[in-house]
Structure 1
Amino acid sequence: MYKPTFQKRSVLKFKHFSNHGYSLFSVLGKEVLIGVLSVATLQHATAKGISIETNKVESDSTATRQSVMMDEVSVTGTRAPLTVSQQARMVTVLSREDIQAAPVQSVNDLLKYAVGVDVRQKGPLGVLTDVSIRGGNSEQITILLNGINICDAQTGHNSFDFPVDISEIERIEVLEGPAARVYGTSSLLGAINIVTRTPEKTSLSAHAEAGSYGYFSGGLRANIASNNHWNNQLSASYTRSDGYLRNKAGALSADYHTTKAFYQGNYKDDEVLVRWHAGLSVKDFGANTFYASKYDDQFEHTFKTFTAIQAENLHGRLHLRPSIYWNRSMDRFELFRGAPNKYPYNYHRTDVYGVNLNAYFDWSLGRTAFGAELRNEDLVSGNLGEPLERPHHIHGTDRDYTNGLNRTNIQFILEHNIILDRFTLSAGLVAVKNSQADMPMHIYPGIDASYRIGTAWKLYASYNSSLRMPSVTELFYSVGGHKADKHLRPEELSAVETGIKYALNGISAKASVYWNHHKNLIDWINDGTLDANGAVLWKSVNFGNINDFGVETALDFDFQQMFPSMRTLKKFSLAYNYIHQNKGEQAGIVSQYALEYLKNKLVANLQLNLYKHLDLGIYYRFLHRMGSYPDASNQRHEYASYGIVDSRLSWTAQKWSAYVEANNLLNKHYVDYGNVPQPGAWIVTGVNINL
């Protein structure tokens, strides 16, 4: 992941007479900044000369400087690093400021406020969440940690089990639409890249919060920086809750315990930057009816580890960025909690090894990037995959892994970027081959273009294509009311998008229109068949070809940048996404994913400063989902539209902050997925301390 080096600049503010009635500045009706030269310098600087550190500065120019700085931060919308202002594709960036202001306790919850993202919860606070983009499902996007693919080959349900607490995140980049040239072919409908922060100075911080349903979360972070070259950071957090659901016997069945630990470090000198991380995530949760509506006492345990090392040379015509990683996932599913005698537990272990090399160089005709990645996914299981020649013992049990699947994905990427004063063109292709499908090398092209009109407007258009291999669950999960097809064909998608963006003086707006064509789309369907136990039987199939048409709009006002004397109103944003599919529900067939998409999503956000350091944030979401679902008696129900209000009241001082958050403030009853009810009003209060 490209990360520029930055140099801080200070702003000189003349305010000695600004509060007196006889002051000339008072007559003008606003404070005057003697700092124009500094701002002008920022506007003409490159990404390597501007800080992304968002230290609080008590100046009316803060919003302006942060806006300029954000434009110059490199985000990953292309294979070669380009700044936000240079990107030909639109990348939604949730900044650290956005993260700190939102009434959320997990990344999953934060993504609810991204209008193009569909967050379907089966448990609160990120316990079990399916995240998708633009009408897809959780298998069709790539999740990355600092640019490293951490997707779970077993199932997309567990892709968000990563080791980083939300307080450790610098920003989140959401790339909507096929991202094969950037993140590999598994990113069929987009990618979400989570970028962690490493403060430049030695520091110590802690946080704790508690709330409804026996909720508690606490964490520590220590950062040690030395000699301007080395930086090491260690963090740990623990979260638990009694949950909000009980089974028919009256016992808790949505409780959970989560432990996370994360170490990251980097070394930097004038020639090279090396970064590394290692982390673990342990989660135990009651799964109620999360996977099968007939059984209300399911349980799951997951244990994941993540390791990676990345490097980059900082000088020379050819920039090389190699990386190597290993992610391990272990999963135990209990159809009947704590009762293996009633139904044997399902055990799975997945090891993902990857190595990739990205490179780019500048020359007279632009910036050219190329890369290659080798990714091996090795799964052993008690019931997924083909029979193993030699069983592997399951640690801590008297059982063996008897089945498994090993597949290798190889891909090569070539991309060229033409960057002119007002015009950016990025074109390239990805060539991919996967051993599991025994397919020949397939090539998927893409092209993005943008044109800047003046300083405020940008027009853009793109065509991209991609492929996704079926997950191991889609290929082999034939237990507990499911019947898989190991001969599923890979999904393919091509997408066209065009749009316009405006940003000037605190007002930003964008609108886009997109069209997606799915081929061999994979889905789980129910045609009314019941399994041997009388439960609904879900089958994995290549559902066919589906076309999506979508419109996405957003409007943002930064009032403190628009009106420097404004204090109460800080920000207001409004965004809307509309999707229409050309295929609806068929008589006698219920789709679990493909036809259960968000047709309408509206998100609004108002940020207020009530008094000095006292801030209030109010969030509203309206969702209208297509499709229907069967209950435990196999009776079909249409998804109902719903609106949710969340809020956060916070007091922020220099070294500490305290807050109260309310989710689902109006206590709405709704479902995101099947017949799993979501919690009512959920209140959390907490404190952060920074030393």
Structure 2
Amino acid sequence: MASSLLPSQPLFAQDKNTDLDPVTITASLNPVQTSRTGRNVFVIKGDRFAQLPVHSVDELLRYLPGVEMQMRGPAGSQGDIVMRGGTFQQVLVLLDGMRLNDPNTGHFSGYIPIAPAEIDRIEILKGASSATYGSEAVGGVIHIITRTYAARKDSPETLAVQANGALGAYGFASLNAGTFLKKGNNIFSAGILSNHSDGQLQRGTRGFFHNNTVSLSASRFLSEKWKLSARAAFDQRDFGAQNFYTSFVSDTAKEKLSGTWAQMQVQRTGRRDRLTVDLGYKNMLDRFTYNSGSIPNSSRSELIQVLVRDEIRLREHTALTAGVQLINKKIASNDRGHHNLLQAGAFVVLNQQVGEKFSVNPALRVEWNESSKWELIPQVNLSYREGDFQFRASAGRTIRDADFTERYNNYNKSLVTGGRIGNPALNPESSFSYEAGADYFLNNHLKLSGTFFQRFHEQLIDWVNTPYANMPRKENLSPTGNYALAKNISKVNTRGVEGDIQFNQKTGDQQQIWASAGFTWIESAGTEATPSLYISSHARILTNLNLQYGYRNLTLSTAAIYKYRTAQEAKAIGARMEPGYFVLNGKLQYAIWKQQLGIFVQVDNIFDQSYQDLLGSVMPGRWVMGGISFRR
């Protein structure tokens, strides 16, 4: 007998699914349309990647509504992910349900070990989600779901191949290619993303990059009930990192990272439940060289995780997901020492539909951590549909524990004359968030969303400039040094407004328009007399825009961002972070054979805007490139 609960089907009978109201698994773990979750969720299909003027997954995220990428370098070199005015450690990144956040530092959250050709969709859940996912899910969750893991047994047999190659100024060379095959009960997918450049000129150095990601995955339906999936990936990045972390004149840094990622999933789909067991392993080696005269910082981090969850359909309109999670974090570093941390969690999420219009989704998690011990994390989401309007609200608690850099940075060195100093005595962050919003759907072509949110944060962890006399540990510090200490800030309150637009319309085979835009206004206020580093750098106004227009064989795509934030200046290195900037990328593509083979020209930063997202990290000016693409 065929199973009644399929991996990518909604649990409840819903309106016809569209691009504007797709099924999501991120908001409540059960597959359900976004309009029923009570949350602000944005979903983008993986196929959009090859059509938009971007070079890496972090660059794609940069132009999606509500996501602030604080870029240090292009084409996957480094970018901090910020949502709703939090810090870059307060966004959780998932790959097919497994957390990617590195235990060393949140700066590595943008290193997503997946080739774009393998992506089925990206789901962006904005706001508090710790009751479901635990630590780090404060500002939001970014969930990358791949074609192999999303495939269903009844999906048609498919062979898909795509490839994009480009050459450009400053020795730029790029390859983005992959294949997907489903035949019978077997699924296979593989991809490669490779970006290289000598780099544009910076302060006496060049912003070079040599970034490569190779990934492959496979699934097999062993029977009507059982599915086995596995993935392996290798990620290597080598780039100029001048002033990525400091604003010192002596900083001419380079950084090189190499990582491996492996995960496996066993899934049993029964008549009324679906049991899933996930295993994940991550290993990353980071070598950071401050300048030619310094000894490189070498840090190897490991992340081992097990996640078991069971989605149970209790009644026609009631579903329950319960699960347990075990995580082990390790680091071995000549800078931060050798450390190991164990944490665990148990959670339950209820999906209850009341009548045809109302849905309620409460969640509760118990989290344990060797450092911070026990935490109880509740949340509730509400949704009500009336005609073309969807009203939603959510409230819940979030937590985040310090990473190894925040606790132990520069602790293993004999002498530190300046820079950021870790603090082993840090307490975990805690906050309470609430939000309320509404969505308007028009003829399956247009969706308008508006959301007000507020977060009350206690014990927030951030870097604060601290005199030598006030440092809690002075053994390896210089009395004349300038230091930023990782501290718990007493209180930080953040409030904001989000507005999103999504539009999609196709007229026959001749014309198609797809667009997304987001506007975010954020205000944060803290109790510290000295402003903290990252709270003072998040955007106060953020606008993201994607637009794609196709007519016959011609396709024009643009991606734009406008950002307004607090101005900063570092006179010693001649760096100034202007309060506002606007960046526009454009791509023009022409299909020369059967809508499968095309040529394109792309211009990044069309108006040659001079800008920095983080003080001293100079972003590239205008960049011209062209290439060829193939899709089958």
Is the shorter-chain TM-score for this pair beyond 0.5, marking a shared fold?
Answer: yes
Report if aligned partners of 2:64, 2:516 keep a CA contact under 8 Å in 1: no
SS at match of 1:632: helix
Do residues 264 (structure 1) and 197 (structure 2) align? no
Q: Deviations over 1:6-55 (max 9, x none)?
A: 8xxxxxxxxxxxxxxxxxxxxxxxxxxxxxxxxxxxxxx957999xxxxx
Do residues 555 (structure 1) and 501 (structure 2) align? yes
Report if aligned partners of 1:432, 1:443 keep a CA contact under 8 Å in 2: yes
Please identify, of 168-177 and 94-103, the stretch whose mean Cα deviation from structure 2 is larger. 94-103
Please identify, of 512-521 and 315-324, the stretch whose mean Cα deviation from structure 2 is larger. 315-324
Higher strand share: 2
**Residues 551 and 90 of structure 1, relative CA distance in 2, 3 Å threshold:** same
Q: Provide the TM-score with structure 1 as the length reference.
A: 0.82
Do residues 465 (structure 1) and 419 (structure 2) align? no
Shift of 1:472: 0.4
Report if aligned partners of 2:20, 2:502 keep a CA contact under 8 Å in 1: no
Q: Select which of 321, 334, 347 maps to 1:382.
A: 334
**Residues 572 and 169 of structure 1, relative CA distance in 2, 3 Å threshold:** closer
Read off the aligned partner of 2:247 and give its amino acid letter. Answer: S
Do residues 114 (structure 1) and 64 (structure 2) align? yes
Q: Provide the TM-score with structure 2 as the length reference.
A: 0.89
Report if aligned partners of 2:359, 2:383 keep a CA contact under 8 Å in 1: yes
Task: Map 1:244-263 to 2 at 5 A.
Answer: 244-248=200-204, 252-263=205-216
Q: Select which of 264, 267, 286 maps to 1:309.
A: 264
Read off the aligned partner of 2:398 and give its amino acid letter. Answer: S
Match of 1:445 in 2: 378
Task: Map 1:16-95 to 2 at 5 A.
Answer: 68=18, 71-95=21-45
Match of 1:612 in 2: 552
Report if aligned partners of 1:622, 1:643 keep a CA contact under 8 Å in 2: yes
SS at match of 1:582: strand
**Residues 637 and 210 of structure 1, relative CA distance in 2, 3 Å threshold:** closer
Q: Distance in 1 between matches of 2:200 and 2:585?
A: 18
Shift of 1:224: 4.2
Q: Select which of 279, 296, 313 maps to 2:251.
A: 296
Report if aligned partners of 1:302, 1:332 keep a CA contact under 8 Å in 2: yes
Task: Map 1:441-590 to 2 at 5 A.
Answer: 441-454=374-387, 456-478=388-410, 479=416, 481-505=419-443, 506-527=445-466, 532=478, 536-560=482-506, 564=507, 570-583=513-526, 586=529, 589-590=530-531
Match of 2:341 in 1: 407
Q: Select which of 617, 621, 625 maps to 2:561.
A: 621
Shift of 1:354: 0.8
Read off the aligned partner of 1:262 and give its amino acid letter. Answer: S
Q: Deviations over 1:224-266 (max 9, x none)?
A: 443x111122323322111113453xxx442121222111010
Q: Distance in 2 between matches of 1:229 and 1:574?
A: 39
Read off the aligned partner of 1:351 and give its amino acid letter. Answer: E
Report if aligned partners of 1:585, 1:595 keep a CA contact under 8 Å in 2: no
Please identify, of 567-576 and 170-179, the stretch whose mean Cα deviation from structure 2 is larger. 567-576
Match of 2:474 in 1: none
Read off the aligned partner of 2:297 and give its amino acid letter. Answer: N
Match of 2:174 in 1: 217
User: For the pair shown, which has the larger CA radius of gyration, 1 or 2?
Assistant: 1
Q: Select which of 662, 667, 677 maps to 2:618.
A: 677
SS at match of 1:594: coil
**Larger relative contact order (Cα-Cα within 8 Å, sequence gap ≥ 6):** 2
Report if aligned partners of 2:165, 2:628 keep a CA contact under 8 Å in 1: yes
Shift of 1:359: 0.9
Do residues 169 (structure 1) and 115 (structure 2) align? no
Report if aligned partners of 2:10, 2:31 keep a CA contact under 8 Å in 1: no
SS at match of 1:99: helix
Q: Deviations over 1:483-506 (max 9, x none)?
A: 221101111111000000011212
Q: Distance in 2 between matches of 1:285 and 1:426?
A: 44
**Residues 192 and 679 of structure 1, relative CA distance in 2, 3 Å threshold:** same
Q: Distance in 2 between matches of 1:274 and 1:428?
A: 28
Identity of aligned residues (%): 24
Report if aligned partners of 2:521, 2:541 keep a CA contact under 8 Å in 1: yes
Q: Select which of 617, 627, 632 maps to 2:572.
A: 632
SS at match of 1:522: strand
Please identify, of 491-500 and 678-687, the stretch whose mean Cα deviation from structure 2 is larger. 678-687
Do residues 190 (structure 1) and 164 (structure 2) align? no
Q: CA RMSD in A?
A: 2.8
Aligned length: 602
SS at match of 2:113: coil
Shift of 1:593: 0.3
SS at match of 2:75: helix
Do residues 236 (structure 1) and 174 (structure 2) align? no
**Residues 222 and 572 of structure 1, relative CA distance in 2, 3 Å threshold:** closer
Shift of 1:83: 2.6
Report if aligned partners of 2:124, 2:140 keep a CA contact under 8 Å in 1: yes
**Which runs of 5 or more structure 1 residues have no equivalent in the other structure?**
7-44, 51-63, 385-402
Q: Distance in 2 between matches of 1:447 and 1:5?
A: 24
Q: Select which of 608, 613, 624 maps to 1:667.
A: 608
SS at match of 1:672: coil
Report if aligned partners of 1:76, 1:82 keep a CA contact under 8 Å in 2: no
Q: Deviations over 1:501-560 (max 9, x none)?
A: 011212210101001111101111225769749774221111221111110112334354
Match of 1:594 in 2: 535
Match of 2:228 in 1: 274
Shift of 1:568: 6.0
